[in-house]
Structures are given as C-alpha cells and as structure tokens.
Structure 1
Amino acid sequence: MPARTVVLEKLVKYNGEAHVPITPGEYTQLTGRAGRRGIDIEGNAVIQWSPTVDSAAAAGLASTRTYPLRSSFAPSYNMSINLIARFGRERARRSLESSFAQFQADRAVVGLSRQIRKNETAISEILLNAKCHLGDFIDYASIRREIKEVEVLLSRRDQKKSFDNRQRSRLESDLGDLRKSLRNHSCHSCNEREDHARFAERAGRLNRENEGLRTRVESRTNVIAKTFDQICQVLTHLNYIEGEKPTAQGKILTKIYAESDLLLTESIRCGLFDELNPTELLSIVSCMVFESRSSENTAPKMPSTKVSSSLTEVISIWAQLEEIESQYGVKTQREPDAGFCDIAYKWASGNSLQNVLKGSDMSVGDFVRSTKQLIDLLNQIAGASEKLRPTCKEGVKRIDRGVVAYLMGAI
C-alpha cells in the first residue's frame, strides 16, 4: 500500500531458493509506493545503511529505469470463475487470448518459427549436396543411423547383468538384417558415399533441432487459453461450474481471491472451520497465506491439538486437489505452510509482541505484513461465508491491535 516514506532494510530478497539481490524493476516497484496520491506532493525512499550495502550498487538501482516488461500473469481459479460468471466461458477464453502475457508468448513463438524456417531452408540446400545419382541417399543414411543406434544399444546392454540372452539375439539379428540392407542398397557403391553421408547427417541434426523447436512452439501457442481450459476442467470436476454458470459452491470461490483460493474454498465447503473459535480459525487459515523464508524442514510448533488436527485435514484436502490438478495438467495450489500458526494464535490470545516473536527469526516488519495478509484473508472468508462471518470478524478484532493497527493506520 502507498505510504509517505518507504524504507528498505536490505537490498536482497528471498526468491524461494536463495537470498539474491533485488533487480532494478523490483526496486522501482518497492519505492514506487512512496507518496500517497492526493495527500503527498512527493514520496521518500530510504535505504537503511549497513556494512553489507554497496553504495554504488544502491545508486545503480536508483538510477536504472530501463528494463523489459515481462508478464507473470496466469489464470487463477477465482479469476476464471469470475470471468465465466460475467462473460460466459467462450467470451472469457477469447479475452484471455488477447492478454499481454499471451502477446509475449506469441512474440517468442515468432522467433522460434523464424528459426524453424531458417533450418528448413538450410536442410533443402544440404540435401541437394547429399543427392546421389545411384539412388535415394536419405534412405541409405537412415539405415546407417539405425545401425548405429542398435550398436549403441548393444554396447549399453553388455554392461547390464540383467541383459537377457533372447534380447541380445534379437538385437544381433536386427543388426545383421540392417547391415545386409545397407550392403544391398544402390547407394552403397557410390564413390562419394562418405561426402553424401556428412551432408545427410547435418540435415538430420537440423531436422531433430526443428522437432524440438516445434514442441516449444506448441507449448507456447495459446498457453494462457489452454491453462484457462485446464482450470475449467478442474472446476467442472469439482462441480464449481455447470455449463456457462458457477454453481452455488462456485459462487463462494468468486469471493476468495487468495493464492490458495481453491484450497480455502474446498475447506469452507467441507465445513472444516465450522467448529473452530476465532483464534483457532485465524491460526489455521494462516497456513494458506504465509510462506516461510527459511529452508529448514523442521516441523512448526502447533498452538493446540485442535489446530494441529485441523491442519492435518487441510493438508489432506490439498493432497486431493493436487491429485485432481495433475489429471488436468494444472499446478496452482501450493502446500500449506504452518510457520505462522503459533505466532498468529499467540497474538490473537493477547500476548505482547515481544513474547509472540520470542524464539523466532521473524522481523517486526514481516510479522505486520503476514498479519495484514491474514486480516485480508479473514475478510474474504467473511464475505464468502455467512456462517463463518461472525467468527472471522471476531478474529480480525483480536489481531488488528497494537503495532499491527498502528502501522496499518499509518499506511
């Protein structure tokens, strides 16, 4: 959210695998929030000094303003079902086909297609040099290639103790037949046979390269619309859409726009949260917005047996969804992360900030950001489920206090 001043504690970020320097684009995105529209004449961006901060690198980030725009857009379940509800499935698909992300994918396809055409021209020229007056040299070269493949296969099988004698006999028989076909071929007696073979091999390499390029073209053509189709298949499988309209349970999904939108909606539909009190509810749903920065695989602390058992049920639903998604070639729902469950529970129970963060490597800034995301998620659930609304509203009251309320109010 915009603020009068933006302070960057460090110029590195965790990208899911390692801590890496932020890019000029990321720096601009972060500092671009400085200055509230209609309130501030200008905004300020401050980089906190530390011995590890390179002043020249900081100046370079601040002065760099030219970098390519790359769309990371991908259809989500919430976005897809809202488009269907508003425009119908076919019109929604056409809209996605004209998106900037698809434009970039199509632009990449143009370059790949150009390379394919270039290779095809080269292949045609090479094959002229491989032409033999005695017969079809491409057919002859194909037999040579098959012989080489069988020879390689036999040499690899020799190294395996499990290699069956019948398999060896069959391969040796095939190899003998191929060598006989090679000797009997009309091009075998050509004086320029090896020269022709070199040209044929070059043409073969280019053909194999084109096969790979065509596969890449196919994977990028209409990729956004294809993803939308796959998402619609999952939604139909789960009875969230029927024909051109969302079902009753699909309408719940239209109001949940978190990253784990489908997992959260399924949890609501299964009544997983119905018997939880406000503190337990906010603790368990935090696993759908929080993402640990640490790469440690230690099991996070659970605040209560009830929260722990609820987490087990959430993970079970996630595993079922992952299996359904894999059937249709989709991967959108990340695994629940329970790293904030205990912290959120303690904060909602009235503990001081010092006690809440004691023994944790979480900074105050990360705590406030995660709590703000949790408040947003609780408000989404309140808007989607009338039954859970009172519990969610009470949960928001319990965590929207102290430093969280102060910093959110100052934004």
Structure 2
Amino acid sequence: MTLSPAENFIRARKGKSHPVTRKFASLYPFELDDFQIKACQALEDESGILVAAPTGSGKTVVGEFAIFRALEEGRKCFYTTPIKALSNQKYLDLVEAHGTERVGLLTGDTNVNSDAQILVMTTEVLRNMIYAQSPALVNLAFVVMDEVHYLADKFRGAVWEEILIHLDPEVLVVSLSATVSNVEEFGEWLGTVRGRTEVVLSEERPVPLYQHVLVGHRLLDLFESPGKINKDLLREERRAIQRTQFKGRGRDSGVLDKSEIIAKLDDEGLLPAIFFIFSRNGCDLAAKRCFRDGIDLTSGYEKSQIAEYVQSRTSHLPAEDLAALEFHEWAAIWERGIAVHHAGLLPLFKEIIEGLFKEGYLKVVFATETLALGINMPARTVVLEKLIKWNGESHVMITPGEYTQLTGRAGRRGIDIEGNSVILWTPSIDAAMAASLAGTRTYPLKSSFTPTYNMSANLINRLPIPRVLDSLSLSYAQYQADRSLSGVVEQIAKNQEALALALPGCEQGDFASYFKMRLEIKELEKSSINERGSRRHKALEERAERITILRRKLREHSCHSCPEREDHSRIYEKRSKLERDTLALSQKVESRRNVIPRTFERVLEVLRELGYVEAERLTDSGKKLLGVFAESDLLVAELIKADVLSALETADLPAILSGLLFEARGEEKQLPRIPKSISEAVRDVVALWARLETVEAKHGLATQREPDFSMSWSVSRWSHGGSISSVLREGDLSIGDFVRHIKQIIDLLGQLTSSDTMNSTRYQEALKSIDRGIIRYASVSA
C-alpha cells in the first residue's frame, strides 16, 4: 500500500517518539505493517496488547518485539503456545535468531535450558509455574500468549484464563489471536484483569484469497462477486448431480480420485498445496494411492536433496526402529514430493516434513486439521476434501472460524501474489453450503472456563475463600455471563415499571379475586387434560370437584355480572403474563449471576466431603492434589490416598496411569486387554471412580471421565522392555499416538514425583522404564 506524503510524515513523527520500536523495525528487511507498528508502540508505552489478525498476517512480529525488549532490558520473556509441536517449532526459530544460550524450551516432557532469558513453553507449564510460585518467574517482564483464542477450547481453554487472572499484574501480556467477531469485548475483559490493554485489529490478509470449487475436471470460482454465488458453478453443479444419478461415483460423476486432483492442481499451477482430510487413515491412503498411481512432482535434483536431508535427520535411529515405522516406504513417497502430516506420525517425521515443505521440496501434504493450528506451513493452495468432520462426539459441519483457519494457510507472503482455496464438490457438499461457510465473518470467542479440583486446591492454598470467589468472578466466562444479562436486566426493569401501574377497578367488586379463581380453573383444567389416561383416578376426581366448586363461586361473585367482565379479564391476563415473564427473566439472571463462583462452591463441597479441605485449609491429601494437573486430577489424588499406586511394582505403574489418561479417538472404544499384574489395581481404580461419580452427582457437578484401559496392555509391554515393533504390531497402534500417550504418562509421573514425595523414587524408576528408545528420539532437536 502506497502512503501519501502526509501519511509518511505522520508515521515518521510517530516513529521518533518510539525509539525502541524504530530500532526493532530497522532489523527487518521489509517495512512493518501499520498494525504491527501500532502494537509495538503500545507495548513500548507499557500497555498490554491484544492483536487479532488473520493467519499469515505477521502478528508474531509483535511477540518478537516483546522478546527484543526483554533482551535489550536484561529481563525475561515467556512465549506460550497451545501445543508441543508449536512450541518445538517456535523454539527452533528463536534458537536460529538468538542462539542456544539465550533460548529454552519447557513442554512438560522436555526441559531445555530452563534458566534462559527467552523461554518457550506450552501454556499449561506457565499455569503450573504460577501456582507453584516458581523462581523462574523472577525478573519476568513479558508473556506472549500465541493462539490465545484457544481459551474457547472445551477441554483446555480454562488454562489461558487462569494465567491471565493470576499472573503478576506487573508482567505485560501480548495476546495473539485469530480474527474473532467479539475482539472488543475480549479486549475490555483483558483490561479488567490485566490493566491497560490496547486492542489492535487487522482484518486484511497479506495475500488475497481466491476461493474455488472443483467439480469434476472444472475448477470454478465460488463467487462471481462478493456474496453472490457463481452462476456457472450452480449450472455445473446441477449437471454433476445428474451425472452421479446415472453413472454413480467415478470418472464422469463429478468426483475425482486424489491422483487426478493433484494432477489437475499441478496443471493449473496451484502447487504446493495442503490437502486437508479429516482422517489420519484417509491422509495415509491418499498419499500411498498417489505414489502407486505414479504421481511424481520432484526433479532429480530435488529427490537427491530430499534424500540427503532425510538421511541427516534419521541416521541416529536403529534400523529395527526404522523398519517398524515403515520409514523406507514413506521416504520413497517423500522423494516424489508427497507427504502426510497428522498426530499419528512420529514427531521427528513431522519435523522432517515441515522442514522439507519449508524448503519447497514437498508439493502436496495430505493433512488433518491439526496442521492449521499455528504450524508455519503456508502453501499456494489449500484443498478441503469435506466440510464435515468428527468433533469427538458426532459428525458436524466445520465452523466459519475453522474454515477461515484452514484456508488461512493459502498464500505465501512474499512468494505468492494470491492464495487459493479449493473445495472438492461431492453430492453432499453443495455450492450454497460452501458459500455460507466462506461468506460468514461472525465467529465469536466464547469462554469455556470452569473451576477444576486442581485449580480450586491451588487457589485455596494461596488465598482465603472469599478472595478465591472474587478471583473467579474475574473470569472471562463470568464476564460474558454478566454481559449477556444486561439486556435481560433492562427488560426486567421495564416490566416492573409496567407492573407498578395500578390496574383498573371494577364497579361491581374485587375483580382481582374473581380473576384469581378463573386462573386457578384454567390451570386445573390444563393439568387434568395432561393426566388423562393415567391411573390417578382419585386425583382427577378431586380436581374435577374443585373445578365445580370454583365455577359455582365464579357465578356467585359480584363481578360475574359486570358488563365489562371480559375486557377486565384481558387486562388482568396481560398483567399475569407480564408477571410470569418477569419471574422467568429474574430466574434466568439468578442462574447466570455468579455462576463460576457457585460452581467453585460445589467443587469445595466435594473436596470437603472427601477430606481434602478442612476448616477452609488443605489437608495433607489436599496438598498432594496441588501438583496433579491431569484431567482426572481428583481420581489420581484418590489413588494416592488409597495406596493403590504404592502397592504396584514400579514397571506396572505406567499401565495403570494409562487408564487415567487415554481417551479413544472417535468411536474406537473396545473391550480392553488388561495385564494380569494390574487387574486388581484396575478394579480398585474403577471402584474409586464410581464413588467419585456418586459424590460429584450429589453436588451437581459433571463427573470425571471414566477410566479407559484400552492402551494399558501396550504400555505394559513397553515398560517391561518390549521392542517398539512388537508393541505397535500387537496393539495395532500408530507410532504418533503411542509416543504422545507415553509422553503424557511421563508428564504425569513427573507430577507425581513432586506431589507424592514418599514414593518419588518409585515414580522416577517407572519413568525410566518408558522413557527410552523411540520415545527419546521423539524429542525436539535444534
């Protein structure tokens, strides 16, 4: 964008008043965008910042400015991300920029240079530091919270709010978010909990996005003008529907196979592409199908470069492990310029794929939606196979926000003049559905915050109960609940004004008593109709008798003969309805007001009943809960208290903990195979969980997730020395799932080492039994 002389003068004058921003901007080979400069200047003015901008717009530059300031001032900066893969990638980027001695990494199972000035970490690590009052927080000046919109996540979102509420108010927070429609509201809330916070919004994509639909071999624009679906697309869609009705799914049906789609994209000059398929198995099958069909997207030179890079990253792995990981098959596919990217891969393989893609050697990556979460892998084109995905509970349409996040990968800044999204037409995806997703720009950020047992224990340990309640009232969830009530409260006030007006009198007598009888008859008749056919004959007879008596009294009432009786009744009926509506609105306000503190009070009752809190203080058992951050935190604490864990052999501990952490994907649940050595402990775990379920239900709380021991057999085989090939073969597992699950167990064993100090040696030995071989290779490498 070319600036006028006047605009250039204003920008130059502003720059002189912000020397640190000016010095930072001079380090870049390109001119910073206005929103980047505005955010950096606000941070230089000691304001917190919320930056909301599209994917790929460069909002991380603002996070890098916080790091720059920390290094200049000799202070610390923490950079938090929602997932380990993002932390690993950011760590490697910062090491490249600032050197290994200045940058560290903490992700629960990885600890690299933890005393560094710049620490990259998963969000949970910072939350745990705050509760533990870690010495690492000393001299902390800035916290960058990347992907802060993740606080809407149903399972982990509360962690972001815990940090924003409880982090030292002197620390400046840089919140980086995707574009959300209620960014101003979120910024206002940040201002209430963090002090002065500047909201910087940019809705402009750095590379314009062109959206298409592929119908058979025809690539058509989705829109012919803003908001108007392309007429040619609608005509082609009708023809494709007719073809599918006559010919079924096939070459002429309007639905191509993956190899044909890739060939089409290559012909159109739309590679490299990320091809989103909402299934790991679907990604693997697509890549292997393209390989079998002879798709070859790389030159001889590129093949040699790929082979050399892959060799340099895998030379330390034993041949037996490589064979178990189907390495040679995948390496051959990579050399053709094709790859997959999903959570089922070994983390090292994902790093290899990200590196090859960044260098431009990979032309097509079949990926699940996890790739869209901040991983720096922009492409020229993004392809969406479907617009429906499994959300953990059912198959649902992706949201406009998810669509924007996925298509945000399209268009490489400084390389492409435009980005492209391609939706694959099928009979189940019509143009109107695609246009609705692509055209919607309203996707608000909604808090998922609710007090957990661990959170509550940590707050009780730090604050008196009244102050705990006050701090929970500061949550974004409560803020949103209160804001949602403002209109309701106004309506109640209007209703009450109307109700305060006197009703017209009746010259014949007390019409209020007359109307009250009419109302009672109406209610009795309604309930009698609802109970017809039931066996409660006596109750029906009593009700009929009561109605007869009331009708007689009505006829005898002085107002019954009033000529304006029905007019008066209509007025009283309107007033009665207004009273009912006002009561309903008041109940709505009451149910939402202080909803978060009231939830905490129910959690507190559970903790009291189970012996974790006495006289408003934590007991010894309660103190052991402080360091247990697993989703099943209370069940873990109950196992410690009941000596279930201490009765096991150390090598059996991982298999039991597996049951508290593992959650089958989708509809995979099956009857687990339980190792004999832990069968008694499994019964104890299930019995304790059933008891907790009863106590939680009694106090009106959602119950903790039921233990799932589906992975315990494989974990036991590994902890007792089994090879990775035998464990994967016997358990029918993907290496990525297995590695991630073992790392979760390692993380929990580390928590138990600190929480249950009497058994810390046993937990450390159990940890060593599983932190070996391929698990250790999965760590990040610079």
Q: TM-score normalised by the shorter chain: which range applies?
A: 0.7 to 0.9
1:71 alignment partner, one of 447, 456, 474: 447
| Counterpart mapping for 1:14-25 below 5 A | 14-20=390-396, 22-23=398-399
Q: Does 1:321 align with 2:724?
A: no
- Using the TM superposition, give the Cα deviation of residue 332 of structure 1 relative to its aligned residue in structure 2, in angstroms: 4.8
| Counterpart mapping for 1:74-223 below 5 A | 74-121=450-497, 128=503, 132-160=506-534, 162-164=535-537, 166-223=538-595
CA 1:326–1:358 in 2, change beyond 3 Å: closer, same or farther? same
Which structure has more strand as a fraction of its residues?
A: 2
Distance in structure 1 (CA, Å) of the matches to 2:445 and 2:745 = 30
Query: Can you list the C-alpha shifts for 1:201-234, whole angstroms capped at 9, x where unaligned?
Result: 3333333233222222111111111122222222
Distance in structure 2 (CA, Å) of the matches to 1:391 and 1:173 = 75
Partner of 1:408: 779
Partner secondary structure for residue 388 of structure 1: helix
Which structure has more helix as a fraction of its residues?
A: 1
Distance in structure 2 (CA, Å) of the matches to 1:114 and 1:316 = 50
Partner of 2:89: 4
Greater Cα shift, 57-66 or 253-262: 57-66
Partner of 1:295: 667
Counterpart amino acid of 1:336?
Answer: P
CA 1:91–1:402 in 2, change beyond 3 Å: closer, same or farther? same
CA 1:259–1:408 in 2, change beyond 3 Å: closer, same or farther? same
* Contact 2:399–2:437 under 8 Å retained in 1: yes
CA 1:24–1:148 in 2, change beyond 3 Å: closer, same or farther? closer
Query: Can you list the C-alpha shifts for 1:38-94, whole angstroms capped at 9, x where unaligned?
Result: xxxxxxxxxxx997999x999999999974222211111111111121222222222
Partner of 1:40: none
Distance in structure 1 (CA, Å) of the matches to 2:434 and 2:649 = 47
Distance in structure 2 (CA, Å) of the matches to 1:29 and 1:288 = 32
Counterpart amino acid of 1:278?
Answer: T
* TM-score using structure 2 length: 0.45
Gapped runs of 5+ residues in structure 2? 1-83, 91-339, 343-366, 370-387, 409-421
- Using the TM superposition, give the Cα deviation of residue 352 of structure 1 relative to its aligned residue in structure 2, in angstroms: 4.2
* Contact 1:282–1:392 under 8 Å retained in 2: no
- Using the TM superposition, give the Cα deviation of residue 399 of structure 1 relative to its aligned residue in structure 2, in angstroms: 2.5
Partner of 1:259: 631
- Using the TM superposition, give the Cα deviation of residue 118 of structure 1 relative to its aligned residue in structure 2, in angstroms: 3.7
Same amino acid, percent of matched pairs: 42
- Using the TM superposition, give the Cα deviation of residue 269 of structure 1 relative to its aligned residue in structure 2, in angstroms: 0.9
1:284 alignment partner, one of 656, 677, 687: 656
* Contact 1:343–1:356 under 8 Å retained in 2: yes
- Using the TM superposition, give the Cα deviation of residue 250 of structure 1 relative to its aligned residue in structure 2, in angstroms: 1.2
- Using the TM superposition, give the Cα deviation of residue 341 of structure 1 relative to its aligned residue in structure 2, in angstroms: 1.7
CA 1:361–1:175 in 2, change beyond 3 Å: closer, same or farther? farther
Q: Does 1:385 align with 2:756?
A: yes
Q: Does 1:307 align with 2:392?
A: no
CA RMSD of aligned residues (A): 3.7
Q: Larger relative CO (CA 8 A, sep 6+): 1 or 2? A: 1
CA 1:197–1:223 in 2, change beyond 3 Å: closer, same or farther? same
CA 1:375–1:51 in 2, change beyond 3 Å: closer, same or farther? farther
Distance in structure 2 (CA, Å) of the matches to 1:96 and 1:143 = 47
| Counterpart mapping for 1:362-377 below 5 A | 363-377=734-748
CA 1:364–1:92 in 2, change beyond 3 Å: closer, same or farther? same
- Using the TM superposition, give the Cα deviation of residue 291 of structure 1 relative to its aligned residue in structure 2, in angstroms: 1.6
Partner of 2:273: none
CA 1:404–1:61 in 2, change beyond 3 Å: closer, same or farther? farther
Partner secondary structure for residue 191 of structure 1: coil
- Using the TM superposition, give the Cα deviation of residue 361 of structure 1 relative to its aligned residue in structure 2, in angstroms: 6.8
Counterpart amino acid of 1:273?
Answer: L
Distance in structure 2 (CA, Å) of the matches to 1:232 and 1:215 = 24
- Using the TM superposition, give the Cα deviation of residue 272 of structure 1 relative to its aligned residue in structure 2, in angstroms: 0.3
CA 1:64–1:373 in 2, change beyond 3 Å: closer, same or farther? farther
* Contact 2:477–2:596 under 8 Å retained in 1: yes
CA 1:296–1:168 in 2, change beyond 3 Å: closer, same or farther? same
Distance in structure 2 (CA, Å) of the matches to 1:31 and 1:76 = 35
- Using the TM superposition, give the Cα deviation of residue 189 of structure 1 relative to its aligned residue in structure 2, in angstroms: 1.6
Greater Cα shift, 14-23 or 337-346: 14-23
Partner of 2:356: none
Distance in structure 1 (CA, Å) of the matches to 2:425 and 2:576 = 53
CA 1:29–1:238 in 2, change beyond 3 Å: closer, same or farther? farther
CA 1:354–1:225 in 2, change beyond 3 Å: closer, same or farther? same
Partner of 1:234: 606
- Using the TM superposition, give the Cα deviation of residue 145 of structure 1 relative to its aligned residue in structure 2, in angstroms: 2.2
Greater Cα shift, 277-286 or 293-302: 293-302
Distance in structure 2 (CA, Å) of the matches to 1:332 and 1:29 = 32
Distance in structure 1 (CA, Å) of the matches to 2:589 and 2:400 = 30
* Contact 2:670–2:710 under 8 Å retained in 1: no
Distance in structure 1 (CA, Å) of the matches to 2:648 and 2:578 = 63
CA 1:244–1:300 in 2, change beyond 3 Å: closer, same or farther? same
Query: Can you list the C-alpha shifts for 1:243-296, whole angstroms capped at 9, x where unaligned?
Result: 242111111111111111111001111100112123321111112222222336
- Using the TM superposition, give the Cα deviation of residue 26 of structure 1 relative to its aligned residue in structure 2, in angstroms: 6.0
CA 1:236–1:300 in 2, change beyond 3 Å: closer, same or farther? same
CA 1:307–1:184 in 2, change beyond 3 Å: closer, same or farther? same
Partner secondary structure for residue 20 of structure 1: strand
* TM-score using structure 1 length: 0.81
* Contact 2:393–2:666 under 8 Å retained in 1: no
- Using the TM superposition, give the Cα deviation of residue 316 of structure 1 relative to its aligned residue in structure 2, in angstroms: 0.9
* Contact 1:85–1:244 under 8 Å retained in 2: no
Distance in structure 2 (CA, Å) of the matches to 1:288 and 1:73 = 22
* Contact 2:658–2:715 under 8 Å retained in 1: yes
Distance in structure 2 (CA, Å) of the matches to 1:139 and 1:361 = 75
